[in-house]
Structure 1
């Protein structure tokens, strides 16, 4: 039996080693699987980040292209409008003496108005907001109306039967049309600036006022006169006491001096009463003197 003990011990050790190896392998496999999962998650996160970055870049490029397209179309329409208004303002200087010449000029101006700007309207409808395309159409229609009014005014000038009232009315109508066209241009500019996110003058930051230097305020504080100190109450009391003493002495002297003339004129039968009055006055003066001295 003892000869099998080493074999049994070896089997036990081998089983323990095999169990340890299997446990270690399982732990390693789990660690490898966890590492693979983390790597896959990191790869997916990086992929999503790259996709988001590409998407943001594409959106930025598309927005830049859209802004450039809107700006180019609106600038072309505004340039055409300014040119047409300049022509309509100076058309009276042309030598147009017949209705056919006026019609030919009107046709040329109409082609300028609805030529290239009309081709910009579909692009604006696609890449810009509806307000911009609507403003552009309103501007082109206003220019067309101003063109017709200008041509009618020229025809009235060459018409012999035209009256002064008709000429003045047509001139006033022409001025209104030109002003309305200028207002339409300004409205289109403001709408385009809002669409492109360009800050207007009204939204500019107000300058901050500079604070006043502290030195001036300190100098003013030093220049302020100091209030005079009130007189001490002790001095006032001392001053008041001699005054009261003088007043008391004066009153006592007056009281003492007042009955003096009566002593020389009384009758012999009033002598005891006069003596009693003098004694009372003297006693009163004696009582008042110490109070006045204090």
Structure 2
């Protein structure tokens, strides 16, 4: 007998996958994209902070450099101007040390020249008012006044020494007044120098010498 070759039908039943499995690739892409976007935002925020900090540091450095240059200019201007005042004062003080040696016809011209030199000292007051943080201008004005008084005392002594009818007592009084005026100039110079040294941060100088 022959074998039965009747075909048998085999049915394979496959269950359908869950609905969410089809969305897994898209969800994964979204998660990756969100993570990348978050990283970009954090990186941008960090970069902005770094740039802002760098700009602030540059601005602070520029401001500090500008302040140093301004302070250097201020100190140099102060020192140069103060030196001019002291040199002028010393020159005037030297010129008035020889009253009695002026000829009568030149006394007025000499006194006028000295007064003009004293006035030139006052031309620096405005500079001190601008560049000084302390009242150096006041000390400069005091020095100028002392110089004016000394020049006037020199003129009075000159007249007393050349006056034919001037008594010895008057001459002695004129000479004493002249010496006091010169001492006042020296004291004013000392105070002026002390004020400048304090302004520049130098050590204070000893007290003014006795008159």
TM-score, length-scaled by structure 2: 0.86
- Corresponding residue for 1:179? 183
What displacement does 1:112 show? 1.2
What displacement does 1:201 show? 6.2
Aligned equivalents of 2:161, 2:33: Cα separation in 1: 107
Residue 88 (structure 1) aligned with residue 93 (structure 2): no
- Corresponding residue for 2:60? 52
Unpaired runs of 5+ residues, structure 1, are 203-294
Residue 97 (structure 1) aligned with residue 92 (structure 2): no
TM-score, length-scaled by structure 1: 0.63
- Corresponding residue for 1:132? 136
Which of the two has higher C-alpha Rg?
A: 1
Q: Secondary structure at the match of 1:160?
A: coil
Q: Secondary structure at the match of 1:89?
A: coil
Residue 153 (structure 1) aligned with residue 161 (structure 2): no
| Contact in 1 for aligned 2:128/2:137 (Cα 8 Å) | yes
Alignment of 1:255-270 (within 5 A): none
Residue 67 (structure 1) aligned with residue 75 (structure 2): yes
Q: Of 185, 193, 209, which residue of structure 2 is paired with 1:189? A: 193
Unpaired runs of 5+ residues, structure 2, are 1-11, 207-211
Residue 110 (structure 1) aligned with residue 115 (structure 2): yes
The alignment's C-alpha RMSD in Å is 1.9
Structure with the bigger RCO (C-alpha within 8 Å, sep 6+) is 2
Q: Secondary structure at the match of 1:93?
A: coil
Off by >6 Å, runs of 4+ in structure 1: none
Aligned equivalents of 1:108, 1:132: Cα separation in 2: 26
What displacement does 1:55 show? 0.6
Alignment of 1:35-46 (within 5 A): 35-46=43-54
- Corresponding residue for 2:7? none
How many corresponding residue pairs? Answer: 195
Aligned equivalents of 1:109, 1:171: Cα separation in 2: 19
Aligned equivalents of 1:17, 1:105: Cα separation in 2: 107
Aligned equivalents of 2:131, 2:108: Cα separation in 1: 36
- Corresponding residue for 1:228? none
The superposition leaves residues 228-269 of structure 1 with CA deviations (integer Å, 9 ceiling, x where unpaired) of xxxxxxxxxxxxxxxxxxxxxxxxxxxxxxxxxxxxxxxxxx
The superposition leaves residues 155-178 of structure 1 with CA deviations (integer Å, 9 ceiling, x where unpaired) of 111111111111111111110110
